[in-house]
């Protein structure tokens, strides 16, 4: 591949990747903000207990709902313990009198050992996107941020340098073509100067 084509390719790839990442980050920020305002939360499935419907790494969108609106068959996310561990399992029974749910992971053979108190329910799972949770986890992990920011800055820098070089190269080519066609004297004068 000639050098000019390689430069154009790298420049285009850098611009595309930088634009893609900037757009993805902007969309994610808007979704997170709108989600919080509308009562939605984003979580990542971290165990296989809800496979195959929600495999490990699935990004789930959970909506705040009143516990009274949850029934058997719904998938809910709830606070499991005092440490704040979140669990996402399917409701297999609802007990409105005692204000508890019995839950079970789809991949598990038996119901969970402890009932889920209504006040521990975070919300109802509306849908999931397999794999996206892992990708977002990588992008948002604190230890990865410097790497991602450096990669984006590097790609943007390389893209900018290549664009400047390409611009200068086009300018030289057009100047040579103008000189070759005999119009050099006319083009070298700036308007208003003699």
Provide the terminal-to-terminal Cα distance of the chain, rounded to the nearest Å: 45
Query: H or E stretch including 12?
Result: helix 3-38
Considering only residues 190 and 163, tell me which one the structure prediction assigns the higher pLDDT: 163
What integer pLDDT is reported at residue 194 of this predicted model?
45
- The answer on pLDDT for 185 being more than 60 is no
Angle between helices 145-180 and 3-38 (to 10 degrees): 140
pTM: predicted TM-score of the whole model, two decimal places: 0.64
Q: Count H helices and E strands in the chain, helices first.
A: 4, 7
Q: Tens digit of pLDDT for each residue in 24-62? A: 777 777 877 777 788 998 899 999 999 999 999 999 999
Considering only residues 145 and 41, tell me which one the structure prediction assigns the higher pLDDT: 41
Break the chain into its structural domains and give their ranges.
Answer: 1-38+131-168, 40-129
- State the fold for domain 40-129: Umud Fragment, subunit A (2.10.109)
Distances (CA, A) of 4 to 10, 162, 172: 10, 10, 14
What integer pLDDT is reported at residue 98 of this predicted model?
98
What integer pLDDT is reported at residue 168 of this predicted model?
86
Strands of 1-99 (E only): list them: 40-44, 59-63, 75-79, 86-95
Compute how many other C-beta atoms are within 10 angstroms of the C-beta atom of residue 73: 9
Share of the chain above pLDDT 90, in %: 45
What integer pLDDT is reported at residue 5 of this predicted model?
78
Q: Tens digit of pLDDT for each residue in 168-183? A: 888 888 888 888 887 5
Q: If you ran DSSP here, which 8-state letter would residue 47 be given? A: S
């Amino acid at each position: 591949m000639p050098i000019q084509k390689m430069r154009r390719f790298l420049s285009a790839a850098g611009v595309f990747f930088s634009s893609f990442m900037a757009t993805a980050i902007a969309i994610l920020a808007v979704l997170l903000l709108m989600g919080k305002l509308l009562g939605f939360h984003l979580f990542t499935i971290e165990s296989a207990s809800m496979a195959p419907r929600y495999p490990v790494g699935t990004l789930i969108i959970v909506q705040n709902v009143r516990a009274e609106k949850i029934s058997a068959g719904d998938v809910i996310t709830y606070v499991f313990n005092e440490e704040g561990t979140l669990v996402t399992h399917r409701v297999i029974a609802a007990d409105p009198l005692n204000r508890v749910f019995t839950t079970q992971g789809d991949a598990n053979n038996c119901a969970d050992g402890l009932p889920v108190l209504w006040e521990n329910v975070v919300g109802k799972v509306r849908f999931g996107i397999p794999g996206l949770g892992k990708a977002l986890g990588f992008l948002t992990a604190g230890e990865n941020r410097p790497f991602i920011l450096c990669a984006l800055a590097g790609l943007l820098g390389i893209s900018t340098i290549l664009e400047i070089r390409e611009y200068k190269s086009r300018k030289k080519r057009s100047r040579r073509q103008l000189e070759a066609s005999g119009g050099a004297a006319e083009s070298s004068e700036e308007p208003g100067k003699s």
